[in-house]
Amino acid sequence: MQRRRAAYRRRQSVRSVLIAAGSTAVLGTLLVVAVANSPGWPRVQQSFLDPAVAVESLPAVLRGLWLNVRLLVFCAVGALALGLAIALARTLRPAVFFPLRAAATSYTYVFRGAPLIIVLYLFTFGVPGLRLAGTPSVLVLGGCALVVTYGAYLAEVFRAGIEAVHPAQRAAARSLGLSHAQTMRHVVLPQAVRRVAPPLLNDLVALQKDVGLISLAGPIDAIRAAQIETATSYNFTPYVVAGVLFILLAIPLVAVTDWVTMRAARRQTWAGTA
Amino acid sequence: MVRSRQRAALVGTVAVLVTAVAGCSPQADDPPVDPPTPGPCNPQWLDTIVPRTLTVGTDQPAYPPWFVDDAPENGAGFESAVAYAVANQLGYEPDAVTWVRVPFNNAIAPGPKSFDIDINQFSITEERRAAVDFSSPYYDVTQAVIALEGSPAASVSTLAELREVKLGAQVGTTSYRAITEVIAPTAEPAVFNNNDDAKAALRNGTIDALVLDLPTAFYVTSAEIDDAKIVGQLAQPSGSPEQFGLVLDKGSPLTDCVSEAVDELRDNGTLAGLEAEWLAEVAGAPVLS
């Protein structure tokens, strides 16, 4: 009986996989036929998918991508630290901390609202314009703009996580004699961070794409490198090359996000059924 | 009824012929004698986007000395004047010329174009010919280096010294190519979205020197950044000289006519006259070698 049931289920799943594959193939073929038969296809193909141009532009785009990667690492660390600090400041209850709370709140309001490009302009063109001694390079200034902007997003994510931890947890920790700081450190934050890990990683994927905007201040990132290649040949293939590289770069992060989300979901279901 | 329609058609044809003849009158001495042969290059036959109208594209903002007041319609500025001269040569009255704003990337993307011709300091290269048509060249360009007066970069006198300078240029320009191919600096050059950003970076000291085409360099140093000077001009990159051409859609039916018009304008001295009028000061900057 049980074995027959298993066999039936297997047949059903094989069948659904086949149907899915079939319909995907039909849709894919239709799409390819439609695109390839459009009158402009040969020129679009030549302009966007020229293998020779792709190979030629690859080294320059990769060099640019290296800048994106380095910047991503530094900005991600900075933004996570800043976001966490701001979120903690916003959750401080005592009245003495009102100024700090107010400052943290207005910071998240301002920098979540301000377009990143404008923040970048202000940091990379405005600050050097002051001509102060010891002004850091535009790369550092642009990195700061990214950290400040993304720190605001991440702060809100962290705060949501902190507030989602049930007050009973906090009360229990305090009644055990832990201080506010100890409660945060050992009880609240571990749960909060785990809960908001998927949206945090999601923001990091967004940051990965936005680090390239620093190119408006002069540095050559992957997309700017592709733009330069495009300008010399009037062929858009380098953009496609950069796009593919960005997707490849994002895949590990996206995969980790999915895995973390799935693990969290599974754990919650177990907790629910236990 | 039939008769009156025929008469209307006849009147229409005559009106068209008169307009066409009037358009070409400065060049054609005896137009009525040979109407069929010189046919294709006039508004009646040219296959433009809007019939009997020449749609000209350029970027926004459009900069001096190529355009004046970001208003290509006013006919002022070298490229605006060239566009109207070409239009006139083809037989379009000034009010049959309309302007559209086309960003750089759109002008060179495959697919339908919103312009008949685009004039926007497009340098002619063989690679680019794979994507668009170019008219005959209407201007020979050289690139120049500018720096803030009194800065170390301002006293540079050789290419070798220039290699040590932190340079910048606008993206997509041959100025950038001049940096990588003629100067080959030791540090990676900075690349900006437009010349306004590049000028700001020069003023801020983020870059030490900026590479621009020579007429723009003159305009920037004389009218925009008072304490900047032209350090010198750069030799042409190896191979053919750098020249600006009008951009047309790949395989455009207008290309030959537009090229003929540009050639004629060069031969009869019109282009030289416009150059003298709008780009007069462009001379005398030392060539760095």
A32-74 residue pLDDT tens: 888 888 887 887 888 888 888 889 889 999 999 999 999 999 9
Chain B: closest CA distance from residue A130 (Å): 8
Nearest CB to A218; choose among B110, B177, B192: B192
CB within 8 Å: B111 and A44: yes
pLDDT at A261: 77
pLDDT at B284: 63
Distance (Å, rounded) from C-alpha B244 to C-alpha B260?
15
pLDDT at B39: 60
Interface ipTM: 0.74
Positions in chain B whose pLDDT score sits under 70: 1-39, 237-240, 281-284
**Cα–Cα distance list, B13 to A97, B6, B47, B169 (Å):** 86, 11, 18, 53
The DSSP symbol for B149 reads T
A99-111 residue pLDDT tens: 999 999 999 999 9
How many beta carbons lie within 10 A of that of residue A152, not counting itself?
23
Mutate which: A50, A234, A235, A240, vs B, most B CBs within 10 A? A234
pLDDT at B26: 46
Distance (Å, rounded) from C-alpha A245 to C-alpha A242?
5
Put simply, whether A122 touches B (Cβ < 8 Å) is no
Positions in chain A whose pLDDT score sits under 70: 268-274
A contact residues 43-72, partner B, Cβ 8 Å cutoff = 43-44, 46-47
pLDDT at B278: 87
Distance (Å, rounded) from C-alpha A88 to C-alpha B9?
83
pLDDT at B31: 47
Put simply, whether A202 touches B (Cβ < 8 Å) is no
Q: Which residue do the tokens 């002619």 mark?
A: B124
B34-71 residue pLDDT tens: 444 456 788 888 888 888 899 999 998 888 889 999 99
> Cβ contacts of residue B252 below 8 Å, gap of 6+?
B116, B133
pLDDT at B33: 43
**CB neighbour class for A18 (10 Å; exposed up to 12, middle 13-18, buried from 19):** exposed
